[in-house]
């Protein structure tokens, strides 16, 4: 199967590192005209140059930032809502503003952009809206309840939008990665397991942490998530919509997708 996205404009939010950057690179490799996004203008410029893509620096978690991005980029064919944050915090110690901050960044950012772009995709008869959710959306992490709440919300938003766009040629789906190796994770490992090589750090993290039930016995790589995003963005995925698609390495112990 050859994925060809030539002539398609793809916006990937939060794409200067990690899954977002890998997704931007994979979509560009498939021929899409990719737009890199992030809050830091220097990081956006560097990433866009490295990928041979365009770059727009904007904070899509705010009304003003989303509006500025939309003004510069009125139309896209593929929208990958990847912007998000996570951290650990005891649930009864999370203040109201932190709950709202997580919702604004992880959920409303994608809602704002889809609210603008999806109807325009509908008018053209083709489009892809992809939310990068998480397996945390279906098995809430005890130490990250506020994060898990936003990932569950993305599943509901994605399904509802897919229903609204039924029969239009526009699909809306969620991709659910498991714990994924990123620069932030490597920094965390350096603090947790000082002096150990990365392979041993990963082995210990998997054995002791949330990835202990992974059937891969390792963390997901960003490019592995990007591969699924590229498929969902492609012509080949026409019959896939309103779905929550796992790329968690078998972490969630269920036979139901």
Residues 121 and 234 in one domain: yes
How far is it between the farthest Cα atoms of the chain?
56
Report the C-alpha gap between 110 and 53 in whole angstroms. 21
Residues 212 and 143 in one domain: no
* One-character DSSP codes across 66-113: HHHHHHH----SEEEE---------GGG--HHHHHHHHIIIIIHHHHH
Residues near 14 by beta carbon (within 8 Å), at least 6 away in sequence: 20, 37, 38, 82, 83, 84
> When comparing pLDDT for 212 and 176, which is higher?
176
Considering the candidates 102, 117, 147, 231, report the single residue annotated as catalytic: 147
Check whether 151 has a pLDDT greater than 90: yes
Report the C-alpha gap between 159 and 161 in whole angstroms. 5
Residues 106 and 197 in one domain: no
Going 179 to 181 to 184 to 189, the CA torsion angle's sign is: positive
Report the C-alpha gap between 37 and 57 in whole angstroms. 6
Residues near 164 by beta carbon (within 8 Å), at least 6 away in sequence: none
Tokens (6 digits) for 157: 């938003």
Residues 69 and 192 in one domain: no
DSSP SS3 for 12: strand
Going 246 to 251 to 253 to 255, the CA torsion angle's sign is: positive
Q: Give the mean pLDDT of the chain.
A: 96
Check whether 117 has a pLDDT greater than 90: yes
Is 147 noted as a catalytic residue in this protein?
A: yes
Check whether 26 has a pLDDT greater than 90: yes
Report the C-alpha gap between 195 and 197 in whole angstroms. 7
- Find the helix or strand (DSSP H, E) in which 40 lies: none
Predicted pLDDT at 109: 98
Predicted pLDDT at 212: 86
Q: Flag whether 253 is in a domain.
A: no
Residues 93 and 205 in one domain: no
Q: Span 143-157, mean pLDDT?
A: 97
DSSP SS3 for 119: helix
Q: Which range of residues forms the domain containing residue 73?
A: 9-178+221-246
Report the C-alpha gap between 135 and 153 in whole angstroms. 12
Check whether 8 has a pLDDT greater than 90: yes
Digit-coded pLDDT (tens) for 178-196: 999 988 788 878 888 899 9
Predicted pLDDT at 227: 98
Check whether 247 has a pLDDT greater than 80: yes
Residues 71 and 99 in one domain: yes
* Domain tally, the chain: 2
Residues 215 and 155 in one domain: no
CB 81 within 8 A of CB 87: no
Residues 139 and 153 in one domain: yes
Q: Flag whether 3 is in a domain.
A: no
Predicted pLDDT at 121: 99
Residue 205 banded pLDDT, cuts 50, 70, 90? confident
Residues 111 and 146 in one domain: yes
Report the C-alpha gap between 200 and 206 in whole angstroms. 10
- Find the helix or strand (DSSP H, E) in which 176 lies: strand 170-177
Report the C-alpha gap between 11 and 82 in whole angstroms. 10
Cross-strand partners of 11: 35, 79
Digit-coded pLDDT (tens) for 48-100: 999 999 999 999 999 999 999 999 999 999 999 999 999 889 999 999 999 99
Q: Flag whether 152 is in a domain.
A: yes
Predicted pLDDT at 248: 95
Residues 79 and 151 in one domain: yes
Check whether 255 has a pLDDT greater than 90: no
CB 73 within 8 A of CB 117: no
């Amino acid at each position: 199967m050859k994925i060809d996205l030539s002539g398609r404009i793809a916006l990937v939010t939060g794409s200067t590192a990690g899954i977002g950057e890998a997704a931007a690179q994979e979509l560009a490799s498939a021929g899409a005209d990719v737009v890199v996004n992030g809050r830091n203008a220097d990081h956006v410029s560097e990433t866009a140059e490295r990928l041979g893509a365009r770059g727009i620096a904007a904070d899509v978690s705010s009304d003003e930032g989303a509006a500025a991005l939309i003004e510069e980029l009125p139309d896209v064919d593929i929208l990958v809502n990847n912007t998000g944050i996570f951290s650990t915090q005891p649930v009864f110690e999370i203040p109201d503003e932190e709950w709202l901050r997580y919702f604004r960044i992880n959920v409303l950012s994608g809602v704002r952009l889809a609210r603008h772009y999806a109807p325009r995709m509908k008018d053209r008869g083709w489009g892809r809206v992809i939310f990068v959710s998480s397996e945390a959306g279906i098995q809430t992490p005890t130490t990250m309840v506020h994060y898990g709440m936003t990932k569950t919300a993305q599943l509901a938003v994605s399904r509802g939008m897919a229903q609204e766009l039924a029969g239009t040629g526009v699909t809306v789906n969620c991709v659910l990665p498991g714990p994924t190796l990123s620069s932030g994770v490597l920094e965390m490992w350096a603090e947790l397991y000082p002096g150990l090589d990365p392979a041993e750090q990963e082995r210990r993290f998997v054995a002791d942490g949330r990835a202990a039930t992974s059937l891969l016995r390792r963390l997901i790589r960003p490019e592995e998530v990007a591969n699924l995003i590229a498929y969902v963005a492609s012509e080949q995925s026409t019959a896939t919509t309103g779905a929550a698609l796992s790329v968690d390495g078998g972490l969630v112990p269920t036979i139901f997708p």
